[in-house]
Amino acid sequence: MKPRARIIATLGPASRDESTIRRLMQAGMNVARINFSHGNHDEHAELIKRIRKISNAINHPTAILLDLQGPKIRVGELGKGKATLVSGETLTITTKAISGDEKKISVDYDDLPNSVQPGHRILLDDGKIELTVKTIGTDTVETEIITGGILKPHKGVNIPGGDLSIQAFTEKDLEDLKFGLEQGGDLIALSFVRSANDIGHLRQTIAKVAPESADIPIIAKLERPEAIDNLREIMQAADGVMVARGDLGVEISPETVPVVQKRIIEMANQHGRVVITATQMLESMISSPRPTRAEASDVANAIFDGTDAVMLSGETAVGKYPVETVKMMASIISQSETHMQEWGHIEIKFDDDLPHDNARYITLAAKALAQDKDVTAIAVFTQSGRTARLMSKARPDVPILAFTPIQNTYQRLSLYWGVIPTLIPHAESVEKMLAHVEAGMIRATSLKPGQEVIIIAGFPIGTKGPANFTLLHTIRQR
């Protein structure tokens, strides 16, 4: 059985050649992630070109996720290339550019003294090194080293609980956004989201710099404690969310991350939003051909909780076994999905804050009809992809085939749980629509004449607007 949850794979040095990209798609990659924290525009342009070429060649629709870097606070240069920080010693952090050592280091965040208070924690290198703020100067912060270690230049700095005066959207993000939209990216992931205002700002920016891409779905990366505090409003503003467990696990206590993950997935499902579970899912496969048992359980539990997609980062970008990792991910998903009735914890109950349009009720009715009437599949005609997304969130037991005449929508549909995208000519009548359904379903499934399918579309046929009718159709002898 093919996985219904989607697999996002980050492409990088280990997976950028055509042969590997092809094998990743054949192994089950549905979305290719371009990480703007690494590489340059020339490299990314060539990579996007390869993805499109191979996707078209093997008829495997693949969405491209443009992951914006967002603001990063980093350690400055170190005189000896590294510094050994000893627990109990004092370390001064300055906002001035210096060549640091064991006693004093610099960071590239000018407002650090105004963002912390005595007693605040400062974490270096993904939390491996922990400091506590003692005193604050004009451009310095004096800290005590709580957990020491070897620090290297340009490592990340996290300030849990700090009042950071950093914008979620940087000048680098703007340049990367313009480039990515010019290259035809399908989805945007925004880092450092703290409130719905961050999503609104990005939408306004896209409308200004690339109005033809104004409808591109935005995925809010949930990395900050403020995002969890403002989860409902972010959920309403974004098209989807990503549980970015790496940064989140540094900013909040690690033991609370599993609970927060479950809460995010549940709320995303209630709001009809896509939810991606990310970071360290099969991390041991960066260097090992097999995952740990704990990693396999982690992926399975995300599936049982109702995530739409699971994401691989270093495993496929720089790991030794990128293709094997995607195969393993697909295998774990498939095995988990065969046991959803036993262990799944998904309650389909759309939140009352959702717009009360026809599409919301029609998708739930189609799921109920599919169960009661024992139909073979559900076909959705969609222009923007929204009806397909809502049908996906309803989690029917039968395949969902989404038909669209729009290339961008066709690619974006690859992110939605259980959806099989099909690109079709524009249909202007019910008869033409039914012909497309029958041809597409026979190609993509094991449908036979005489079997029944549910068709969801908007009327008049071919017009843009929410779905407003459902048709029970019997496949005819061709």
Active centre residues (catalytic)? 33, 74, 221, 279
Do residues 10 and 325 lie in contact, with contact meaning Cβ atoms separated by under 8 Å?
A: no
Establish how many alpha carbons lie within 13 A of residue 60's alpha carbon, considering only the half-sphere containing its beta carbon: 19
3-state SS string for 127-162 = CCEEEEEEEECCCEEEEEEEECEEECCCCEEECCCC
Burial class (CB in 10 A: 0-12, 13-18, 19+), 310: buried
What is the CA angle 265-267-271, rounded to 5? 115
Residues 153 and 331: their CA atoms lie apart, in Å, by 39
**DSSP secondary structure string for all residues of 261-305:** HHHHHHHHHHTT-EEEEESSSSGGGGT-SS--HHHHHHHHHHHHH
Contacts of 204 (CB under 8 A, 6+ apart): none
Tally of CB atoms within 10 A around 431: 9
CA-only gyration radius of the chain, Å: 24
**DSSP secondary structure string for all residues of 421-455:** EEE-PPP-SHHHHHHHHHHHHHHHS---TT-EEEE
Residues 440 and 438: their CA atoms lie apart, in Å, by 6
Write down the residue that tokens 């993805």 correspond to.
51
Residues 440 and 423: their CA atoms lie apart, in Å, by 9
Residues 361 and 380: their CA atoms lie apart, in Å, by 14
Write down the residue that tokens 């799944």 correspond to.
344
Residues 422 and 406: their CA atoms lie apart, in Å, by 10
List strands edge to edge, sheet with 140-147. 104-106, 90-94, 140-147, 129-136, 121-124, 157-158
Do residues 276 and 264 lie in contact, with contact meaning Cβ atoms separated by under 8 Å?
A: no
Question: Residue 282's closest CA among 339, 340, 321?
Answer: 321
